[in-house]
Structure 1
Amino acid sequence: MKNIDLAKTGYKKFADGDIEGVLDMFDPNIEWHECQGFPFIEGNGVFKGPEAVAKEVLNLIPEYYENFNIEIEELMECDDRVIMTGYYTGTWKATGKKFKANAVHVWTVKSEKLSRFFQAVDTATIVNPVKAKAM
């Protein structure tokens, strides 16, 4: 399977709410780098292993967001990396405000498993969305 197809499958499973299916796609030693300043993440945002990612990130999403979604604008593959550019959308429960925030993911694939994740997200837009002014 191509690395980009592996990533597409992971995003589809996430969208379908199949978190166990997503976790099964991870290398047992996955290194997960959550964006610094990301809401609800404590510490440095680096987690090791599928169980830590589930506990510290994925299982918390429904607690903090309503209708959280990843809108993929583009997926690119380069050697053992897959890059996703797109947006996070949903409602931040603490404010009740809807958001659409820029997001970039960089995945590293090793032996047909997702082995590293790096995220860059406009966290300010998530916690304090600003409506675009008409031009």
Structure 2
Amino acid sequence: MKNIELAKTGYKKFSEGDIDGVLAMFDPKMEWHECNGFPFIEGDGKFTGPEAVAHGVFSKIPEYYDHFNIEIKELMESGDHVIMKGYYTGTWKATGKKFKANAVHIWTVKDEKLTSFFQAVDTATIINPVKAKVM
């Protein structure tokens, strides 16, 4: 399977709520680098292994968000990397405000397993979304 197809499958499983299916795609030593700007992330935002990601990231999503979604605008493949450019959408429960925040993911794939994840997200827009002014 091409790396980009593997990533597409993972995003599809996530959107369908198949978290076990997503975790099964991870290498046992998966290195996950979550953006430090999220209030529920403790420490340096690094998680190692599928169980750590499930507990430290995925289990937190329904606690902090309503209707969380990843809107993919583009997927690109370069060697053993897949890059996703898109948006996070949903409602931040603490404020009740809807958001659409820039998001970039960089995945590393080896032997048809996701081995590394790096995230860059506009966390300020998620936590305190402000409507853009029309010029």
Aligned to 2:16: 16
Contact 1:39–1:123 at 8 Å: present in 2 too? no
Contact 1:74–1:85 at 8 Å: present in 2 too? yes
CA distance in 1, matches of 2:130, 2:37: 18
| Structure 1, unpaired ranges of 5+ | none
CA distance in 2, matches of 1:5, 1:38: 29
CA distance in 1, matches of 2:133, 2:89: 19
CA RMSD of aligned residues (A): 0.5
* 1:60-94 deviation per Cα after TM superposition (whole angstroms, max 9, x unaligned): 10010000000000000000000000000000000
Aligned to 1:79: 79
CA distance in 1, matches of 2:58, 2:110: 21
CA distance in 1, matches of 2:59, 2:18: 11
TM-score, structure 2 length as denominator? 0.99
CA distance in 2, matches of 1:63, 1:115: 26
**Identity, % of aligned pairs?**
79
**1:99 is matched by which residue type in structure 2?**
F
**How far 1:32 moved relative to its partner?**
0.2
CA distance in 1, matches of 2:93, 2:36: 20
**How far 1:36 moved relative to its partner?**
1.9
Partner-residue secondary structure (3-state), 2:125: helix
Partner-residue secondary structure (3-state), 2:38: coil
**How far 1:132 moved relative to its partner?**
1.1
